């Protein structure tokens, strides 16, 4: 489960970015009641609890963070959705998120071993879309001198889970990355986004990688308008007062 230090840092970021997201302070009892209702058999009750959490804003984050470990998959799914939606509403927090992601990666690297069940890895995945710019930065900045650096591998693994369709064109160059682990993770991410792999083989040849990249490029051009339109709509729903940040590629 996410570490206490991560939870504390996340909350500090949240409240610094938006100290008054909610109109009133919500009691711990209400938060726990809404949390229980996330798993209620009645759809309307689950939806009402979801809206209550969204209205509560940053003060709901500790309860939602704990909810990521719930045994009920419905509760986990809703808790993650609400958690990430609230984070998106706390923009602009990119610089603070960069510190948070890099700190989690530093702690992962210091372990000397890696598993997708590690709490530090789960922290990054839980952040969701706000973590993506930093993960992409790390892939690029260590490419020439340290392609085998553990931070790149961890970043690639996280991107395999959380990269969105609008990230596809940025990921494509890494299909021929010198690090096989990056090729595997990026290949997984691209195939998840496009729903097909265009014959890509992470252990294949430059010709195979180029052909797959061209397949993905054509898919992106055919679907780009829809993808960016959907991304803009989702961003406006999460952050109704902010400008769109999706320009494509």
Report the number of distinct structural domains present in the chain: 2
Q: What CATH number did the domain enclosing 51 receive?
A: 1.25.10
Which pLDDT band holds residue 1 (cuts at 50, 70, 90)?
Answer: very low
**d(C-alpha 137, C-alpha 165), whole Å:** 18
Domain assignment of residue 180, yes or no: yes
Domain assignment of residue 57, yes or no: yes
Domain final residue pick, 33, 64, 89: 89
Domain assignment of residue 126, yes or no: yes
Please indicate, yes or no, whether residues 108 and 84 belong to a single structural domain of this protein. no
- Give the pTM: 0.62
Please indicate, yes or no, whether residues 44 and 85 belong to a single structural domain of this protein. yes
Taking a C-beta distance cutoff of 8 angstroms, is the pair 131, 89 a contact? no
Domain assignment of residue 248, yes or no: no
DSSP symbol at 214 = H
Please indicate, yes or no, whether residues 70 and 40 belong to a single structural domain of this protein. yes
Mean pLDDT for all residues in the chain: 82
Stretch (H or E) spanning 182: helix 180-194
Taking a C-beta distance cutoff of 8 angstroms, is the pair 215, 175 a contact? no
Please indicate, yes or no, whether residues 35 and 76 belong to a single structural domain of this protein. yes
Domain assignment of residue 76, yes or no: yes
Quickly tell me which residue has 């709509």 as its tokens.
233
178 contact partners, CB below 8 Å, separation of at least 6: 143, 147
119 contact partners, CB below 8 Å, separation of at least 6: 1, 2, 3, 6
Half-sphere exposure of 166 (CA within 13 A, CB side): 18
Please indicate, yes or no, whether residues 56 and 145 belong to a single structural domain of this protein. no
Which pLDDT band holds residue 69 (cuts at 50, 70, 90)?
Answer: confident
Higher pLDDT, 69 or 169: 169
Please indicate, yes or no, whether residues 111 and 56 belong to a single structural domain of this protein. no
Please indicate, yes or no, whether residues 65 and 159 belong to a single structural domain of this protein. no
Residue range 81-110, pLDDT digits in tens: 898 788 777 655 567 778 888 888 888 888
Please indicate, yes or no, whether residues 145 and 80 belong to a single structural domain of this protein. no
User: For position 146, what pLDDT does the model report?
Assistant: 79
The boundaries of the domain holding residue 126 are: 94-238
Q: How many degrees, rounded to 5, is the angle at CA 119 between CA 113 and CA 124? A: 100
Quickly tell me which residue has 């970015």 as its tokens.
17
Domain assignment of residue 246, yes or no: no
Please indicate, yes or no, whether residues 131 and 213 belong to a single structural domain of this protein. yes
Please indicate, yes or no, whether residues 98 and 173 belong to a single structural domain of this protein. yes
Taking a C-beta distance cutoff of 8 angstroms, is the pair 87, 15 a contact? no
Residue range 155-204, pLDDT digits in tens: 999 999 999 898 998 999 999 999 999 999 999 999 999 999 999 999 99
Taking a C-beta distance cutoff of 8 angstroms, is the pair 190, 171 a contact? yes
Residue range 12-62, pLDDT digits in tens: 555 554 444 455 678 889 999 999 999 999 999 999 999 999 988 888 888
């Amino acid at each position: 489960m996410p570490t206490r230090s991560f939870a504390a840092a996340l909350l500090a970021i949240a409240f610094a970015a938006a100290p008054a997201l909610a109109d009133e302070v919500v009691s711990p009892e209400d938060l726990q009641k809404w949390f229980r209702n996330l798993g209620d058999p009645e759809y309307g009750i689950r939806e009402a609890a979801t809206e209550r959490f969204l209205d509560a804003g940053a003060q709901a984050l500790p309860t939602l963070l704990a909810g990521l470990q719930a045994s009920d998959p419905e509760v986990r799914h809703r808790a993650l959705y609400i958690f990430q939606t609230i984070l998106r509403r706390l923009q602009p927090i990119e610089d603070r998120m960069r510190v948070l992601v890099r700190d989690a990666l530093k702690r992962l690297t210091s372990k000397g071993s890696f598993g997708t069940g590690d709490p530090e890895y789960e922290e990054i995945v839980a952040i969701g879309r706000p973590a993506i710019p930093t993960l992409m930065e790390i892939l690029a900045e260590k490419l020439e001198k340290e392609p085998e650096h553990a931070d790149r591998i961890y970043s690639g693994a996280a991107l395999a889970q959380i990269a969105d369709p609008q990230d596809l064109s940025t990921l494509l160059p890494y299909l021929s990355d010198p690090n096989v682990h990056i090729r595997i993770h990026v290949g997984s991410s691209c195939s998840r986004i496009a729903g097909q792999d265009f014959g890509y083989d992470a252990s294949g040849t430059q010709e195979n990688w180029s052909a797959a990249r061209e397949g993905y490029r054509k898919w992106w051009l055919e679907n780009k308008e829809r993808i960016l339109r959907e991304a803009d709509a989702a961003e406006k729903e999460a952050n109704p007062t902010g400008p769109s940040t999706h320009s494509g590629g």
